[in-house]
Chain A
């Protein structure tokens, strides 16, 4: 159980607590603090969903929901990776470009070199992981700030996409590749299955493995982690590799949905992904965040974008809306922390 998860455990009885009276209140609010962002985000998601169902007749249709699910899956999968990075106190700005790179390379593996779709998808993921490895090494070994390391990769990966494709979309993947983004097993769309698998895996990594545990510790106090024998550099690198790999997977899902590798795919996508993670309650200062929260955030962002399209609202306004939501979410995070007297950060 991570600390953000509210539990039904007994409240402290006070007793020998140093701050007996206030202790109860503080403990309660403390346990809710992480969850509050998620509860707020989930509430917002439900409200937006209901409102859209009422005012946009085309919103609550099977077709649109299917579409929504597969749209969300791209962002949700990427958000899981970025959550890990943000928990360590880092940031990954490169996920949009990396997803595009993975998408075009993956499709080229299938279309140009004739590999089967499984190899194509794996190839895309490996490309993403490689980009993540570069990010990770720049942060952990070279000592660049994560913002700069991944900002550079944002540009480098996009440049590589344009070089590889000559700025022309790549087509010609086999029909079966479309299953990843458009297929259904029974009544469940495959992209939704992918979200479930990635989210469970991400949650598992965060709560049950060294990597996840150390991510929280490094984000909370990296020097304390180092002095407790945590191999900070190695785990920092791993986190960026995972983020890159999941960006690669997101890129492959997107490529499958549009059945091509688009060189301009994912421009600005990093903002939606980071917004999702932040809306989900992760702290940009590190040490806090959950997969579930980011998932809710990803759905919220996707529903807003999708709903806006259904209502015929211009993309430009969507961008404004998403930006405002980022402000609100981060303000909320800081406000909560200050109220709890957590620290001055």
Chain B
């Protein structure tokens, strides 16, 4: 039996030794986390299926896979936020039953989510000890709190006074506070969910330094990541998940980027995407040098009549921001947008709509639909049929019924509140709105989100028919099969920039993932 001693986990090479020893002696090593046949079922979905896994103390174990592969659900079970449907989870050698995040704290498991759970108006010290303030009888021992805080901040390499308000810190600093907060419970297992998603490259690198330091102290780090480059930089071992199951676990030293990409995306592509091909017309929309607030940087592209152009990229790559900037939801800092060769002056969505643009937002609920109002009122929202200064109610009734029939929106009456419709029908209502507004160029941001397979394929059939009528469509999606089947061309964004364009003949998931993650294109 091998004991993991500080000597063994010493320095860079030590981390490697741990991984090696875990691999060759799995079963003998006292593992920080051991999962046996862990599954999680939600109604109608198996989110995690029969996962067996061990993570050693002092190891950085990366979990990779596409959106919805089950990584986050698995981590939430380790953090005791979700209970497994079956299987056992052992932490520090002891089997645990689900008792909520409070119990996880006692076990020494902490999770840092992508969304920080900090109180911006409280001080750093106060945030670090929320729920476990030092002191007794309801009194907070301020002095002790500050001392402990300073010590924790030093461990995460944060050189700030504990009295600072959290709200005044940068994102990277807030994340360090989150990590320090996680360590405040004497964590032996630290779970980080895509911690670099909101960091710059330099900040990310610093974070890796901190993580290395924590590992040397024997903390097991479970690290969810989408980004190939950092997997190789920070990880000791990688577990690739797909459709809820573990595809492979291996030391990063035995993988290269191309193989990792194949493991992540290797799945049969369904034929759900009714795409007919038509002759492309002339260029309709032309975007040039568009920039906005660091999220969109100097982006230029054209879309032709009858064309469906895909936008691929990781979450946060700036695709939504790009669509919003073109559409005038946010006013761009610089750049021009022209339609049919005429430059547009877009000061807000109203100008974009008048010019013939439309934007199906990413979230129907948040910024797409007035859920309490009827199908009719939602359809005519962007262009109300008017009779002088009055709304022409009979015209409104007629045209909404026409759209309902054309798009097969399943509602008995058009006055029914849209919140009572299914996701697919809601999306059709938004689509009808843009058709009614006369949109010639349509930005569709994750149009298939939250829909079942049938509704999705209907939606895509609709987009296809719009394109074949000569409209132009920009399709933003994080699901590559959608893009590869529907699009004539795919543009790839990374960190606000357009980093590549892939023509239909050259479509390959590996190629697009490589571009989106910044991996070197070396698989061919």
Contacts and interface: CB of A to CB of B under 8 A. Distances in A.
Given A3-B415, A12-B413, A30-B420, A225 B370 contact: yes
Given A224-B368, A225-B370, A287-B372, A1 B415 contact: yes
A27 B420 contact: yes
A320 interface: no
Contact of A213 (B348, B366, B384, B425): B384
A112 interface: no
Contacts of B354: 229
A17 B377 contact: no
Contacts of B372: 3, 220, 287-288, 342
Contacts of A208: 390-391, 393
Contacts of B391: 207-210, 213
Nearest to A221: B370
B353 interface: yes
Interface in B361-406: 361, 366-374, 377, 381-382, 384, 386, 389-391, 393
B162 interface: no
B417 A3 contact: yes
B346 to A, nearest CB: 11
B416 interface: yes
A18 B410 contact: yes
A220 B418 CA distance: 12
A225 B433 CA distance: 12
Interface residues of B, number: 40
Given A18-B422, A210-B391, A287-B370, A228 B416 contact: no
B322 to A, nearest CB: 15
A231 B384 contact: no
B410 A221 contact: no
A314 interface: no
B422 A342 contact: no
Max chain A Cβ within 10 angstroms of own Cβ: one of B348, B349, B370, B415:
B370
A10 B371 CA distance: 22
Nearest to A14: B412
A226 interface: yes
Interface in A270-296: 287-288
Nearest to A288: B372
B159 to A, nearest CB: 36
Nearest to A204: B390
Interface string B416-446: 1101101001000000010001000000000
A220 B368 CA distance: 11
B157 to A, nearest CB: 38
Nearest to B434: A228
B415 A221 contact: no
Nearest to B386: A210
Contacts of A13: 412
B353 to A, nearest CB: 4
Contacts of B374: 3
A336 B386 CA distance: 34
B81 interface: no
B373 A217 contact: yes
B96 interface: no
B377 A209 contact: no
Given A216-B373, A227-B367, A209 B389 contact: yes
Contacts of A210: 384, 386, 389, 391
Nearest to B370: A220
Contact of A17 (B373, B381, B410): B410
Given A30-B420, A208-B393, A213-B391, A220 B371 contact: yes
Nearest to A26: B420
A224 B370 contact: yes
Contacts of B344: none
Given A209-B390, A221-B367, A343 B415 contact: no
A9 interface: yes
A224 B367 contact: yes
B372 to A, nearest CB: 5
Given A17-B412, A213-B384, A224-B367, A229 B350 contact: yes
A343 B410 contact: no
Contacts of B349: 226-229
Given A210-B391, A228-B353, A27 B368 contact: no
Interface string A297-335: 000000000000000000000000000000000000000
Contacts of A288: 372
B422 A228 contact: no
B244 to A, nearest CB: 26
A225 B372 CA distance: 13
B223 interface: no
A30 B418 CA distance: 11
Nearest to B418: A220
B401 to A, nearest CB: 13
A9 B384 CA distance: 24
Contacts of A225: 370, 381
Given A9-B413, A217-B381, A224 B359 contact: no
Given A229-B349, A229-B353, A288-B372, A217 B377 contact: yes
B331 interface: no
Given A1-B415, A27-B416, A221-B370, A227 B361 contact: yes
Max chain A Cβ within 10 angstroms of own Cβ: one of B359, B367, B373, B386:
B373
Nearest to A218: B370
A341 to B, nearest CB: 8
A26 B420 CA distance: 8
A12 B359 CA distance: 31
A194 B5 CA distance: 88
Contacts of A26: 420
Contacts of B353: 228-229
Contact of B373 (A220, A226, A229, A230): A220
Interface string B334-351: 000000000000001110
Interface in A156-170: none
A209 B276 CA distance: 42
A210 B384 CA distance: 8
A176 B274 CA distance: 76
Given A17-B410, A210-B391, A229-B350, A224 B381 contact: yes
A201 to B, nearest CB: 13
Contacts of A231: 350
B329 interface: yes
B404 to A, nearest CB: 12
A26 to B, nearest CB: 6
A9 B413 CA distance: 9
Contacts of B420: 26-27, 30
Contacts of B359: 227
Contacts of A229: 348-350, 352-354, 382, 437
A146 B371 CA distance: 23
Contact of A230 (B367, B381, B390, B410): B381
Contacts of B419: 342-343
Interface of A: 1, 3, 9-13, 15-18, 26-27, 30, 207-210, 213, 216-217, 220-221, 223-231, 287-288, 342-343
Given A225-B370, A287-B370, 18 more contacts: A3-B377, A15-B412, A18-B422, A30-B417, A208-B390, A210-B389, A216-B377, A223-B366, A226-B329, A227-B327, A227-B349, A227-B361, A227-B368, A229-B348, A229-B352, A229-B353, A230-B350, A230-B381
23 contacts: A1-B393, A3-B415, A10-B413, A11-B412, A15-B412, A30-B420, A208-B390, A210-B391, A216-B370, A220-B373, A221-B366, A221-B369, A221-B370, A223-B367, A224-B370, A224-B381, A226-B329, A227-B349, A227-B359, A227-B367, A227-B368, A231-B350, A343-B419
Closest 9 CB pairs of A and B: A12-B412, A220-B370, A229-B350, A223-B367, A228-B382, A229-B353, A228-B381, A221-B370, A287-B372
